[in-house]
Structure 1
Amino acid sequence: MQFRWLIASAVLLTGSHAGAAEVSLRDALAQGAQSSPRIAQARAQAEAAEARARQAGVSPNPEISLEVENFAGTGPYRNVRSAETTLALSQRLELGGKRGARMAVAGAERDAALLAYKRAEADLARDIRIAYAELRAAEDRAVLARDNVAQAEELARSAGLYVEVGRDPPLRKLRADALLAEAKAEQARTFGELLTARRALADLIGSSDSELSSAGFDDGVTPPLLPPATPTLDEQVAAAERDAARARIRVAQADAVPDLTASAGVRRISDGRETAFVAGIALPLPIRDRNRGNIAAAGSDSLAAEAALAQVRLDANRAQHDARMLLGAANERVAALSGPGLAQAEEALRLARIGYAAGKFSLIELIDAQSALNAAREALISARLDRARALAALNRATAQ
């Protein structure tokens, strides 16, 4: 067990800012945008939608056919002398506005895919901001835990000396040893959190460096309030999907109109070596299949997309409001915790140490002063982390 404590302490010391690869938030955002698989996927999907939009405007290919009749039969048709050969070209003519409706759907899907690409970038930026802040908080907690171990070791040494000279009862030494064990356990916990935070950020930005270090909390700039009725990125995606759903109604209605196939060709009659032109048209009879089911389904899908857009608007407004409220509260906490209260807790600990060394304060009073300072520092770390999370959420909620 003691060996594991030593290993954890050694890694914490070597994993400090001096030995780790420091990365700024700006660099992390740029690196993530270049190497993230989710961005690559969204980009490829947008390119695929663009290709489908180009394909949607293409008309059906013409067909060429070769038909041989009246041969290999009986009587005068036992050979190919009476055969008739027809070479024809046919073209399916799309009716009912199929091509235009198809192009409208593909265009709306392309717009939705491009907006989804931007949404993926915004989602990744939010996740990187949060992971970066969590790494910084884990680093600060690891340093705090390391300092606490050093102070607990010094306290245990002092308590042992005072017990030996008879100034304090043996119970004081046991209490100091227990405090040291708690500090080491906390150090091991913060070490695990630090490793997890490093790995999380490295995965998001596509880095293989296992010793990433943040350059500090990056408060960034609070995004301004959006003008009234300004659609957020999520609303734009939902609106594009709504437009695509509406366009699919036109496609379903156009599919109910049968297409006309026109053909023309040349027929050669072997007996007289004569030729003649042939022409024809073919039109399906819409007796059984009028595409009513697909038309009804497309209408329902359009209603669902309209409702989804309304829900996204509600969610977007709530997300902006909640993020701003949380950011304001976090700013107040950071200002309060980093003010005179922290300095007073540090001064109280200094005086408690002097008083304990002079025999005026007990060990319990010194431990209380140390615990109060640790609680203040931990609260400040948590408040800064909450502020970074709220700012990341607000940036995402107001993304355009």
Structure 2
Amino acid sequence: MVSSFFWHRRLQAAVFVSLSLVASALRAQEGLALADARAAALRLDPAVRAAREAVTAAAARERQASALANPTLNYGREQTSRAGQSNAQDIAQVEWPVDVAGQRAARMAAARFRREAAEARLSAATQALDAAVLRAYVDAIRAAHRVQLADAAFRTATEAQRVNDERVRAGDVAGYAGRRLRLEAGRYAARRADAAGQARVALERLALLTGLPTAQIMVPTASAFDSTGTAYSALLSSALGSATAALRALPDVGDSLVTRALANRADVQIAQREAQAAQADARLASRERIPLPAISAGYKGERVQSGASMTGVSLFGFVAGFSMPLPLLDRRASAVAAADAIARQFDAEGDVVRRRVSREVLDALNALRSAEAERTALQPFAGAESRLALRAVNAAYAEGEIALTEWLEAMRAWQETELALLTLTTDIALRRADLARAVGLSLFSPTESNR
């Protein structure tokens, strides 16, 4: 009896040590901040660099489109002679086309819209990179927390195996229990190895995006065995930062979110600017049917000499002229028809983008609501009551009231519940970020964006 009581106390102490992790608060280790990871990725990402250069090129083309047409300098000399008489003329004049049809204004409008479309593409590339970095960062946090859960479960199984071996040697339990626990410890060891491998993959993915060495990347983690999920949820909320804050201010109505998305989304703005540029090209093609006149003005000098002994006469004056192309062979009808068709094409493509954006917003909202509903349904089974139930199961096993198989089933149920809660909590965080991006909100504050 004394030996049995001693081993019961030892097992209860081991259980108390393992379950003390349940009530531990957030244990956030200092590591790579999300804003720093995003800044490093922005410096590295070639798509963002290419989009920036595209904006520079579009701005240069816009400046070029506003340039006035160059004048033309013409110079000619004419010299004739007959029967001892000679005549020489020098004519210099400047010719300048006059844009009476507004071609330059249409050209400037098209270039301005394309520059705005390039800026929207830069915003889209930045938002895509922000989403990729945030997802990789959250995946790394989830993987690190899974490692902690697997470690805690493995330590609990190992401690139970050690205590049970001592009880076997004391003759309190059969040897089958020890062999069964060793098999269970192997199961938990395999899960721990799998979790560690997934954590390495998540860190390597984050390192690939940021260009930082994998060995130097550390992400914050929540306490293991956080059954209520509050610490882990707080950690993810902190990681999401401005995206979470922005989503809290959004109305939980699909139509309102769609309206916001149609006003904010970069791809919608790209489609609008491209359609406006095509319409400006159509106006330009129509105005190019109008011939542009050119005016000219200059100087004329003439020298007339009659006979070898006579003094020549010099005449000076000005010349002025007007020219107009005649649209006889090229009326530009086909060019106008092609430009109009392209403008209608971009309008139709804009409707496609707006429909797709509306669908994406509603899908993201429904996915978030579904995940939140699942987590709400699971939360009562993973809170304080779950901790009490697990403590009671361990106490019952220590007192010999339940069999080993019942204790193992209880431990598996607890671990599966924790993993399900971990998955749902992470999915909610990622789906909040997906909804923010679908609505067109920036995942980072302006302060973080300027880092």
Q: Same fold (TM over 0.5)?
A: yes
Equivalent residues in 2 for 1:1-400, closer than 5 Å:
21-23=31-33, 25=34, 38-67=47-76, 85-158=90-163, 160-161=165-166, 172-204=177-209, 207=212, 210-214=216-220, 216-218=235-237, 220-221=244-245, 222=247, 223-225=249-251, 226=256, 229-230=259-260, 231-234=262-265, 235-267=268-300, 272=305, 277-399=318-440
| Aligned AA (1:232) | A
Say if 1:259 and 1:363 are closer, same or farther in 2 by CA, change over 3 A: same
Q: What amino acid sits opposite 1:333 in the alignment?
A: E
Deviations 1:49-107 (A, max 9, x none): 33332322211111224445669xxx99xxxx987654332223335321111112122
Aligned residues: 377
SS at 1:60 equivalent: coil
Question: CA–CA distance in 2 between the matches of 1:107 and 1:237?
Answer: 12
Q: Distance in 1 between matches of 2:87 and 2:48?
A: 67
Cα separation, 2, equivalents of 1:47 and 1:327: 38
Contact kept, 8 Å, 1:232 with 1:397, in 2: the verdict is no
1:289 deviates by 3.3
Which whole-Å CA distance do the structure 1 matches of 2:417 and 2:89 have between them?
Answer: 100
* Alignment gaps of 5+ in structure 2: 1-26, 222-234, 306-313, 442-451
CA shift in 2, pair 1:227/1:349, >3 Å: closer
Structure 1 residues 328, 112: CA separation in 2 closer, same or farther (over 3 Å shift)? same
Deviation at 1:206, TM superposition (A): 6.1
Deviation at 1:141, TM superposition (A): 0.7
Q: Is the 8 A contact 1:29 1:128 kept in 2?
A: yes
Aligned residues with identical type, % of pairs: 28
- Residues 295 and 321, structure 2, Cα contact 8 Å, conserved in 1: yes
TM-superposed deviation, 1:368: 1.2
User: Structure 2 vs 1, CA of residues 289 and 354 (structure 1 numbering), >3 Å: closer, same or farther?
Assistant: same
Q: CA deviation at 1:229?
A: 4.7
3-state SS, counterpart of residue 212 of structure 1: coil
Are the equivalent residues in 1 in contact too, given 2:367–2:431 (CA < 8 A)?
Answer: yes
- TM-score normalized by structure 1? 0.78
- RMSD across aligned C-alpha pairs, in angstroms? 3.7
Aligned CA distance change for structure 1 residues 227 and 143 (closer, same or farther; 3 Å) = closer
- How far apart are residue 166 of structure 1 and its match? 6.1
Contact 2:95/2:297 (<8 A) preserved: yes
Provide the TM-score with structure 2 as the length reference: 0.70
Letter in 1 for 2:31: A
Identify unmatched segments of 5+ residues in structure 1: 1-16
